[in-house]
Amino acid sequence: MTTTSAPTTRRLRADAQRNYDTIVRVASEAFAENGTQTSLDDIACRAGVGPGTLYRHFPTRDCLLAAALRDSLNELDELSAKLVTAEDTAAALDQWLFQVASHLRTFGGLPDSVAQALRDEDSPLCISCAPLRSTTATLLKRAQDAGAARADAQPNDVFSLVASLAWAADRRRASDDDLKRMLALVTSGLR
pTM: 0.85
Report the percent of the chain where pLDDT is more than 70: 94
**CA gap 167, 96 in Å, rounded:** 17
User: Per mean pLDDT, which range of 3-7, 12-16, 117-121, 185-189 is the poorest?
Assistant: 3-7
Task: Please name which of 184, 190, 188, 126 lies closest in space to residue 154, comparing C-alpha atoms.
Answer: 190
Classify 70-190 by CATH class: mainly alpha
CA distances from residue 15 to 18, 26, 157, 175 in whole angstroms, order as listed:
5, 16, 44, 40
Report the CATH architecture of 14-68. Answer: Orthogonal Bundle (1.10)
Question: Rg (Cα) of the chain, in Å, rounded?
Answer: 18
Question: If pLDDT is split at 50, 70 and 90, which confidence band does 3 have?
Answer: very low
The DSSP element (H or E) to which 25 belongs, if any, is helix 14-34
The overall average pLDDT reported for the chain is 91
**What is the per-residue pLDDT for 43?**
97
Residue 7 has pLDDT above 80, yes or no: no
Domain boundaries, the chain: 14-68, 70-190
Residue 178 has pLDDT above 70, yes or no: yes
- pLDDT above 60 (res 120): yes
> Does the pLDDT at position 81 exceed 50?
yes
* Helix residue ranges, H only, 48-175: 51-57, 61-68, 70-83, 89-103, 110-117, 124-145, 155-172
Question: For 150-170, what is the mean pLDDT?
Answer: 93
Residue range 16-70, pLDDT digits in tens: 789 999 999 999 999 999 999 999 999 999 999 999 999 999 999 999 999 999 9
Residue 9 pLDDT:
58
Asked if 98 and 83 count as a contact pair (C-beta separation under 8 A), the reply is no
pLDDT above 50: residue 6: no
**What is the predicted pLDDT for the residue at 132?**
94
